[in-house]
Structure 1
Amino acid sequence: MIKRLLYLGMAVGLGAMAILGGCSSAPDKIRIGEVTRSLFYAPQYVALEKGFFQEEGLEVELSTIPGGDKVMSALLSDGIDVALVGSETSIYVAQQGAADRVVNFAQLTQTDGTFLVAREKTDTFSFDQLKGTVFLGQRKGGMPQMVGEYVLKKHNIHPQNDLELIQNIEFKNIAASFASGTGQYVQLFEPEASRFEQEGIGHVVASFGKESGTVPYTVYMTKQSTLDKNQDTIQKFTNAVYKGQQWVASHSPKETAEVIAKYFEGIKPEIMESAVKRYLEQGSYAADPILDEEEWNQLQDIMNEAGELKEPADYTKLVNTTFAKAAKEGK
C-alpha cells in the first residue's frame, strides 16, 4: 500500500515546480511535514521554541501528516517543502524511478524509537519468551515494523512462524488496542511505553533501538530541485536543526520536556521527562545532522531483510551531507 500511494504522489508531483524554487530570492518560510507528532522529535520542537529558526531568518510552518506515503505525496506535489520521515521513504521513491529524486540532507534521530512492552511483568526477559505469543507490531513496510522483524530474526525468531504477528492496526490505534486487551507484547514509541508502565498496563522489557543499532531513522529530506535552487535556505534550516540537537544534548530531560510541553498537551510532565530520558540514554537523538554511509548501509540491510529493497540505494545520490557538515563546522 505505501509504495502504491508513493507512486500516485509522484504522478501528481514530479512535473510541478518547487514552491521554494519559484522565488527570485531565498524564501523566509519553510513548510515542514512531520510524519507524526512524537517526543522522538524533541530537538525539532526545541529549535522551534528556542527561536533557532528565527535566528537563521526563517519562518517555519509545521504540519503533521500521518503516514510516510502521505508525507511523500505532499512533498512530491509541493504541498510541503521539507519532509521529516524515515529514510526508507526516499528509497521507495527512488525505486519508482523518480526523475526529481528525494534527498536526505539532515538527520534528526539515529536509532529506532520503539520499545518492546510486555503485558506481564518479568524479572528476567529473553526474546525466546515471545515464541507462541500474540505480538502487536507496526505497519508492514514502515521502519518500525522492519526493525522489529530484523531484531526478532537476530534472536532466531521468525515473525511469521514463531508467533502470531498482528500488523493490520493503524499506527494511531496500536496503543489503544493493546490497552484494551489485544496481544501479549506490543511495539510502542514513547510516551506510550512510559505511560503504560506508570498505569500498570505493560512493562518495557527491551529496546528495539538498542538491539538494531544506529540507523537514519528520521531525516529531513526534500527534492533535488529544491536543494539545487535554495542552498542558502536549506543551510539555514540545517543550522537551526543542529542548534536544537545541541541544546537537547546539553540539557536535562526535565528541561527539554518543559520547553516542548505545548506540543504534547495532555501528557503528564513526569511521563514526558521519562520518555526524553529514555531516548537520551540510548542515543536516539542524533548529536548532529550528518547521515553517514555506515548508517545508510544498516538501513539497507534492515530493508533487505524485510524484502522491501529492490536494489541497492546509492548513498551518493540519495544523501547530501554538505549542509549538515557545514552546520556542524559553524560555516
Structure 2
Amino acid sequence: MSAQHGARILRDGFRGCKRCATLSRMTMHPITIQEPFRAVFYAPFYAALARGDYAAEGVEVTLRTGTIPANAKDAVLAGVADLAWGGPMRILLAHEADPASPLRNFGAVVMRDPFFLLGRAPRPEFTLADLAGLRLGTVAEVPTPWWTLQEDIRQAGLDPTGLDRVTDRSMAENLAALAAGELDVIQVFEPFVTLAEETGAAHVWHSAAHRGVTGYTSFTSSTERMQARRAEFKAMLRGLAKTLAWFAATPAEAIAALLADYYPDLPPARLARCIARYKALGLWTETPFYPEEAFTRLETAMLSAGAITRRPGFAATADNGLLAEAMAGWQ
C-alpha cells in the first residue's frame, strides 16, 4: 500500500457512522501501554493521553512508565502490557533472532530521525564527509542513531569504521566534553540541542531528519494480542489519528503547555522550542500510516551496520491492515 493510498484511507475513514462508534465502545477492555523511556520526540504519545483522544474513542488506556528502551517489547511478550511504543528496530532484531517472532509494528508516529550533530562553532557548509579527522562522540544510550548515521556516512563516501569515535559516554557527558574541547562534534537529540543553543555551547551542524523518512517509532504488540484486542487497538489508532492531526495544526507553545506535567524537568519555553524544531523538520507523521519506504530505510541501515544479517521484510514485521480496518467507515 502506498503512502498516498494510506492517506486516502484515513481521509475517507472519518466519514463513517457514529452508531458504529457507540456500539464498539460497549465491549472495550482497558488497555495498558508501555513507555520505553521519556523523550521529547515521543510527545504525540503523551498528547494522545493528555487530550483524552483514546478515551473519546471508548477505550481506557493506562500508561506504564519505563526507563529502559529494550524492555518495552518484553513487557508486551510477558503480558504486563497490551502494547508498547518504541523503535521498529526492536522488532527487526527480534525477527533476526527468531524469524517466527510474534512481534509486529503498526501505527506510525516518528518517521524521521530525531538526532543531530553539534559542533562548538557555526559550520553552515558542513557535510558528513567532513567528519574525517574530527573526534566524534556518538550516542551510547540507544543504538539506532549510530546505525542510521553510519549508513549516511557510507553514502557520503566515508568509511565510518575509520572515524575517531567515542562510544561510551552519555549525551550529557558528550555535551560537556564538547564544551571542554575534548570532542569536536557530538550526536544528541532534544532537549540537548536547545540547551546547547541557549547556553552558546554548540551549534547544529547536521539534522539526521534530512536523511528521509525512516521508521523510528510506532506501536508494537504481538500477533496474538492484536487479534485479542483488535477492537481496542483500532479505537486507539482512531484516537492517535486525531492526536496527530491536532499536533500538526497546533503551535508548539500550546503543545508544550498541554504536556508540561510529562516533562517536569523542562521549562515550558524550552520544551516549546524543542517541539517547534521537530515540527519544522517534519519529524512526526500527520497520520498513523506506516510507509514501507520508512521501514526499508531503517532496515538498510541496520544491515550495513551489521545489526541484522538478513532483511526480514515489511510484510513480516509490520501491519497497516489494522489501520485500514480502523478507519473504514468511521468519523
TM-score scaled by structure 1?
A: 0.84
Structure with bigger RCO (C-alpha 8 Å, 6+ apart): 2
1:186 match:
186
Alignment partners' CA distance in 1, 2:273 and 2:139:
23
2:194 aligned partner, one-letter code: S
Number of aligned residues: 305
- SS of structure 1 residue aligned to 2:316: helix
Deviation at 1:98, TM superposition (A): 6.1
Q: Describe how 1:1-331 pairs up with structure 2 within 5 A.
A: 28-97=29-98, 99-139=100-140, 142-161=143-162, 163-170=163-170, 174-175=174-175, 178=178, 182-210=182-210, 212-328=211-327, 331=330
Deviation at 1:207, TM superposition (A): 0.3
Give yes or no for contact 2:116–2:206 (8 Å, CA) kept in 1: yes
Q: Which runs of 5+ in 2 are unaligned?
A: 1-25
Alignment partners' CA distance in 2, 1:171 and 1:69:
18
Once the two structures are superposed, what CA deviation does each residue of 1:246-272 show, in whole Å capped at 9, x if it has no partner?
A: 110111111111111111113122221
Give yes or no for contact 1:135–1:184 (8 Å, CA) kept in 2: yes
Once the two structures are superposed, what CA deviation does each residue of 1:44-70 show, in whole Å capped at 9, x if it has no partner?
A: 121111111111222222234334322
Alignment partners' CA distance in 2, 1:50 and 1:140:
30
Q: Give the direction of change, closer, same or farther, for the CA distance of 1:198–1:288 in structure 2 (3 Å limit).
A: same
1:187 aligned partner, one-letter code: Q
Q: Give the direction of change, closer, same or farther, for the CA distance of 1:125–1:97 in structure 2 (3 Å limit).
A: closer
Q: Give the direction of change, closer, same or farther, for the CA distance of 1:154–1:173 in structure 2 (3 Å limit).
A: same
- SS of structure 1 residue aligned to 2:117: strand
Deviation at 1:91, TM superposition (A): 1.1
- SS of structure 1 residue aligned to 2:70: helix
CA RMSD, aligned part only? 2.3
2:308 aligned partner, one-letter code: L
- SS of structure 2 residue aligned to 1:68: coil
- SS of structure 2 residue aligned to 1:186: strand
- SS of structure 1 residue aligned to 2:243: helix
Give yes or no for contact 1:137–1:148 (8 Å, CA) kept in 2: no
Q: Give the direction of change, closer, same or farther, for the CA distance of 1:257–1:141 in structure 2 (3 Å limit).
A: closer
2:84 aligned partner, one-letter code: A
Once the two structures are superposed, what CA deviation does each residue of 1:165-209 show, in whole Å capped at 9, x if it has no partner?
A: 122235675555555665221111111111111111111111011
Deviation at 1:317, TM superposition (A): 2.4
Q: Which runs of 5+ in 1 are unaligned?
A: 1-24
